Amino acid sequence: MNDTTNNPREHLAAPIRKIGAIAWLRENLFNTWYNSVLTILTLAVLWMIVPPLFSWAFINSLWDSSAEACRDIDGACWSIIPRNVKFIFLGFYPTGQEWRPILAMLLLLGLVFYSKERKRWKKALGWYWSIGLIVMGTLMYGGIFGMPIVEPAQWSGLPLTLMLSFFGIVAAYPLGVLLALGRRSRLPAIKTLCVVYIEMIRGVPLISLLFMSSVMFPLFLPEGVTIDKVLRAQAAIIFFTAAYIAEVVRGGLQAMPRGQYEAADSLGLNYRQTMRLVILPQALKIVIPPSVGILLSAFKDTSLVVIIALYDILKTTKVTLSNPKWTGYSTEAYVFLAVLYFIFCYGMSSYSRRLEKELHTGR
Amino acid sequence: MPQKTEPVQSAAIPFWRDEAKRAIVFQIVALLLVAGAGYYLYSNTQENLARQSIATGFSFFDKEASFEIGESLIKYSAEDTYFRALLVGALNTVKVSFIGIVLTIILGTIVGIARLSSNWLMAKLSAGYIELMQNIPVLLQLFFWYAIFYEAFPSPRQALNPITGLFFSNRGMIFAIPKAHPAHAVMGWALLIVLVTGWFLNRWGHRRLDRTGQPFPALRITFALAVGVPLLIWLAYGAPTAMDIPVLRGFNFRGGITISPEFSALLLGLVLYTSAFVAEVVRAGIQSVGKGQIEAAMAIGLHPGQVLQRVILPQALRVIIPPLTSQLLNLIKNSSLAIAIGYADFVAVTNTMINQTGQAIEGVTLIMLLFLFFSLSTSLFMNWYNKKMALVER
């Protein structure tokens, strides 16, 4: 008796309510009466949904079979993916040349992964990218080293999706920076032009620009001149993305304290020098995370080219589904695509969050 | 260096060194470039239109559209004019956007609050929902839901019938509605009058609160009247309960109200996608209110409802409303994806018009004007709201 009162810590174990699994449950799931009700209801709903879904996707499903075998089962027919993998990923790229787009995509992914680390953001990286892009272009187009020429009209599937989104942001970035500077300009004519452009593009859906590129743009060109449909859609995506980048960059420019401009002025720098040496390096650093956000939505938005009948990966999947043999397995095909998009987008958004933390140097 | 110290005479500066003059020249050059490019495209277009003998202008408005539209809020048939067809499309866009916005705000708020719940399961499920929806393209989601409605549901003959008067089939969801009765119109008008009165009552209540400090339960009174008055009218008309129950005739249902799979898929896709973004906005808004604010409100003796209504919400809304509007605007713009699953929104109808008449320029212009109208009116509202809600600082 005396011992415990004198030195309680030695003799009493921590009460069971404070540690361990039961305590965790009490803390996080059953801490109030309405939370208990909520937990039980949620578990009941999950119990109704998850087991049937699990047996549909994994137990009663077929992973590599003919379309006929799929007609007799209750579960998912994942076979649609492996049996059509070439067309879904590469579309109309000529048979026998598949290694070229695959190699180009691997090169792109390799460069992206290499560029992830901030300590590699040096001048050399720019050179790697330039060389890499030339190699990728050569691989896709061919014409030398005995590779037959493949016209851009035949580029389809995943390479097209990646190309539209990648060039969509790379080419849009400089344009967006110019537009942002123009919007902040003191020259009324320049400012008005930029404001009208940015607000107009941001006010309309991307699909209207894609329509413009597919049905209206041919009317703009002089007789005899034609531009490939893929390139026109690419241009529409670039012009669309540029307006959004402009707004992000403008945010960065506005976040610059006045003292920075005044300091540059007092050093006697002119406008170009002020922007290039003082303002833009700081402003662009702030806007790196939101820019990754724009890249993310540009990547998701490329799927809209389906509507003007370009063969990106969503369209090749739809074509596969319109094959009578594989009709009726849309759910499986779309779930597969969703997983694919999710991996890309989730990777990008968590990278953007990491970058935000790293770059947040504090003031 | 020594030149700098010399007295500068403005006349001595050549015009390319004078900042003001250079600015004017620069702007004139920019304007000329834009005008030149515009003129070049315009003249090309004129030539092309003349060569392909495509009509210009909006005279097609009065011509017969001669295509059917699946669903419409107003009476429409193939003999009607293009103008009426475009109006049907615009109304369909407004319909899906309006219902979508209401549902998105409700779902987004629930998920956003659940994300902050102390219940671990709720918080994790909401976080998973937000990540999943944000990272899958909305068009893919639309295709997915459309495929579910179209492939997974049976034909009308084998329609699922979970409760009397409600059917699910690949032609959509069909449910019974009360049979038309004169009481309904009277109830509608009465409700409208009650709501207008309630609005004035609320304003008067606020003014009285400011003047005398006496609260007035205007909202509760309005709610009671809004439920009670139509109910009394319904009883006064002898409580008509006849229902218009859908019945299978041939290959489809007659009677009741049908919600098409196209509309359902579009609505579901837009709401689930946008509400994930709205949830993040709501979460950020609630988290932006400092803990001290809530503690201070409790310390002066407000009860939890008042803390929420008078302290948390006014401050959170100031943070929530601007990004919320831009998300809702995104929903309106994304409703243009309807064309991909065959819902007859404005873009889809205009696209049919372009294919029939070849007047692409007018069509694309109309699409852009409609959406610009939505966006500009939203930003006008935003500016007004920001001014109204801006912090009044000393």
pLDDT digits (tens, 9 = 90+) for B339-381: 988 888 899 999 988 888 888 888 888 999 999 998 888 888 8
Q: What does the pLDDT average to over B171-200?
A: 84
- C-alpha B371/C-alpha B286 separation (Å) is 31
Exposure on the CB side of residue A191, measured as CA atoms within 13 A: 7
* The pLDDT of residue A68 is above 50: yes
In tens, the pLDDT along B359-368 reads: 888 888 899 9
Kindly report the average pLDDT of chain B as a whole number: 84
In tens, the pLDDT along B259-303 reads: 888 898 999 999 999 999 999 999 998 888 888 888 899 899 888
- C-alpha B390/C-alpha B120 separation (Å) is 36
Across the interface, whether the CB atoms of A307 and B368 are under 8 A apart is answered no
Across the interface, whether the CB atoms of A204 and B367 are under 8 A apart is answered yes
Which of A57-61, B88-92, B289-293, B312-316 has the least mean pLDDT?
A57-61
Q: What does the pLDDT average to over A126-153?
A: 79
Q: Which of B140, B143, B147 sits opposite A341 (nearest CB)?
A: B140
Q: Which of A38, A200, A300 sits opposite B122 (nearest CB)?
A: A38
Better-predicted residue by pLDDT, A337 or A67 = A337
* The pLDDT of residue B221 is above 80: yes
Q: What does the pLDDT average to over B230-259?
A: 78
pLDDT at A361: 60
Q: What does the pLDDT average to over B35-40?
A: 88
- C-alpha A311/C-alpha B82 separation (Å) is 31
Across the interface, whether the CB atoms of A342 and B135 are under 8 A apart is answered yes
Check if the beta carbon of residue A203 is closer than 8 Å to that of residue B376: yes
Winning range, highest mean pLDDT, from A93-102, B332-341, B375-384: B332-341
Closest-CA distance of chain A to residue B203, Å:
35
Domain positions in chain A? 2-70, 80-93+150-359
pLDDT at A187: 86
Across the interface, whether the CB atoms of B361 and A219 are under 8 A apart is answered yes
Q: How confident is the model at residue A1 (pLDDT cuts 50, 70, 90)?
A: very low
Q: What does the pLDDT average to over B70-78?
A: 80
Tell me the torsion sign for CA atoms B180, B185, B190, B196. positive
Q: How confident is the model at residue B132 (pLDDT cuts 50, 70, 90)?
A: very high
* The pLDDT of residue B1 is above 70: no
Q: Which two tokens stand for residue A242?
A: 């540029």
Q: Which two tokens stand for residue B263?
A: 């509309």
- C-alpha B154/C-alpha B172 separation (Å) is 10
A205 vs B contacts (CB less than 8 Å): 333-334, 336, 347, 371
The residue among B1, B268, B249, B13 whose CA lies nearest residue B147 is B268
The residue among B188, B153, B179, B349 whose CA lies nearest residue B261 is B153
Q: Give the strand pairing for B166-169 and B172-175.
A: antiparallel
Q: Which of A42, A207, A220 sits opposite B121 (nearest CB)?
A: A42
Which of B32-41, B82-91, B152-161 has the least mean pLDDT?
B152-161
The residue among B85, B338, B280 whose CA lies nearest residue A293 is B280
The position carrying tokens 């692409």 is: B360
Closest-CA distance of chain B to residue A203, Å:
5
B143 vs A contacts (CB less than 8 Å): 314, 318, 330, 334
Winning range, highest mean pLDDT, from A71-75, B22-26, B316-320, B328-332: B328-332
**Fold for domain A80-93+150-359?**
MetI-like fold (1.10.3720)
Q: Which of A35, A220, A223 sits opposite B118 (nearest CB)?
A: A35
pLDDT at B52: 77
Across the interface, whether the CB atoms of A300 and B138 are under 8 A apart is answered yes
Mutate to test the interface with B, among A158, A198, A212, A219 (most CBs of B within 10 A): A219
Across the interface, whether the CB atoms of B34 and A193 are under 8 A apart is answered yes
Across the interface, whether the CB atoms of A208 and B364 are under 8 A apart is answered yes
In tens, the pLDDT along B172-181 reads: 777 777 777 7
pLDDT at B272: 95
Q: How confident is the model at residue A4 (pLDDT cuts 50, 70, 90)?
A: very low
* The pLDDT of residue B158 is above 70: yes
Mutate to test the interface with A, among B44, B54, B119 (most CBs of A within 10 A): B119
CA–CA distances in Å: residue B42 to residues A21, A201, A204: 73, 20, 22
- C-alpha B204/C-alpha B198 separation (Å) is 10
Q: What does the pLDDT average to over A86-97?
A: 79
Across the interface, whether the CB atoms of B137 and A189 are under 8 A apart is answered no
Across the interface, whether the CB atoms of A204 and B368 are under 8 A apart is answered yes
Across the interface, whether the CB atoms of A200 and B136 are under 8 A apart is answered no
In tens, the pLDDT along A288-314 reads: 878 888 888 888 988 899 888 888 888
Q: Residue A26: count other Cβ atoms within 10 Å of its Cβ.
A: 13
Check if the beta carbon of residue B86 is closer than 8 Å to that of residue B350: yes
The residue among A253, A256, A248, A255 whose CA lies nearest residue A202 is A248
pLDDT at A15: 62
Q: How confident is the model at residue A12 (pLDDT cuts 50, 70, 90)?
A: low
Q: Which of A189, A223, A337 sits opposite B47 (nearest CB)?
A: A223
Q: What does the pLDDT average to over A215-229?
A: 79
CA–CA distances in Å: residue B338 to residues A216, A307, B139, B145, B335: 21, 10, 9, 12, 6
Kindly identify which residue of chain B lies nearest to residue A198, measuring between CA atoms: B372
Q: How many residues does chain B have?
A: 394
Q: How many CB pairs under 8 A join A and B?
A: 157
B-contacting residues in A 290-349 (Cβ below 8 Å): 300-301, 303-304, 306-307, 314, 318, 328, 330-331, 334-335, 337-338, 341-342, 345-346, 349
* The pLDDT of residue B246 is above 90: no
B-contacting residues in A 218-237 (Cβ below 8 Å): 218-223
Q: How confident is the model at residue A251 (pLDDT cuts 50, 70, 90)?
A: confident
**Please, what are the domains in chain B?**
82-152+261-389 (1.10.3720.10)
Q: Residue B26: count other Cβ atoms within 10 Å of its Cβ.
A: 14
In tens, the pLDDT along A330-344 reads: 888 899 999 999 998
B53 vs A contacts (CB less than 8 Å): none
Which of A218-227, A291-300, B31-40, B185-194 has the least mean pLDDT?
A218-227
Across the interface, whether the CB atoms of B147 and A301 are under 8 A apart is answered no
Q: Which parts of chain A fold into alpha helices (H)? A: 2-6, 8-11, 20-28, 33-54, 67-70, 80-83, 85-90, 99-114, 123-141, 158-183, 188-203, 206-211, 217-220, 229-255, 258-266, 271-273, 280-286, 288-301, 313-322, 330-359
Kindly identify which residue of chain B lies nearest to residue A349, measuring between CA atoms: B135
Report which residue type is found at B92. N
pLDDT at B92: 92
Q: What does the pLDDT average to over A205-225?
A: 84
Across the interface, whether the CB atoms of A330 and B51 are under 8 A apart is answered no
The position carrying tokens 């969503």 is: A314
Report the first-to-last Cα separation within chain A, whole angstroms: 58
Q: How confident is the model at residue A363 (pLDDT cuts 50, 70, 90)?
A: very low
- C-alpha B350/C-alpha A211 separation (Å) is 11
A324 vs B contacts (CB less than 8 Å): none
Better-predicted residue by pLDDT, B150 or B297 = B297
Kindly report the average pLDDT of chain A as a whole number: 82
Q: What are phi and psi of B251, to 5 degrees?
A: -100, 0
Closest-CA distance of chain B to residue A50, Å:
13
Which of A107-116, A237-246, B183-192, B242-251 has the least mean pLDDT?
B242-251
Q: Residue A75: count other Cβ atoms within 10 Å of its Cβ.
A: 15
In tens, the pLDDT along B84-125 reads: 889 999 999 999 999 999 999 999 999 998 888 878 888 899
Q: Which of B44, B45, B340 sits opposite A307 (nearest CB)?
A: B340
pLDDT at B91: 92
Which pTM was predicted?
Answer: 0.84
The residue among A139, A144, A111 whose CA lies nearest residue A125 is A111
Q: Residue A253: count other Cβ atoms within 10 Å of its Cβ.
A: 20
Q: What are phi and psi of B64, to 5 degrees?
A: -75, 130
Kindly identify which residue of chain B lies nearest to residue A333, measuring between CA atoms: B144
Kindly identify which residue of chain B lies nearest to residue A186, measuring between CA atoms: B23
Closest-CA distance of chain B to residue A120, Å:
28
- C-alpha B237/C-alpha B181 separation (Å) is 9
Kindly identify which residue of chain B lies nearest to residue A224, measuring between CA atoms: B48
- C-alpha B147/C-alpha B126 separation (Å) is 25
B148 vs A contacts (CB less than 8 Å): 331
Closest-CA distance of chain B to residue A8, Å:
33
- Rg of chain B in Å (alpha carbons): 29
Closest-CA distance of chain A to residue B300, Å:
25
Kindly identify which residue of chain B lies nearest to residue A225, measuring between CA atoms: B44
The residue among A331, A237, A319, A340 whose CA lies nearest residue B136 is A340
Q: What does the pLDDT average to over A265-280?
A: 88
Q: What does the pLDDT average to over A165-175?
A: 87
The position carrying tokens 């069509």 is: B363
Across the interface, whether the CB atoms of A306 and B30 are under 8 A apart is answered no
Better-predicted residue by pLDDT, B20 or B331 = B331
Across the interface, whether the CB atoms of B371 and A203 are under 8 A apart is answered yes
Q: Residue B12: count other Cβ atoms within 10 Å of its Cβ.
A: 9
Q: What does the pLDDT average to over B126-149?
A: 91
Which of A240-249, A330-339, B242-251 has the least mean pLDDT?
B242-251
* The pLDDT of residue A48 is above 50: yes
Better-predicted residue by pLDDT, A25 or B115 = B115
Beta bridge mates, B254 = B247
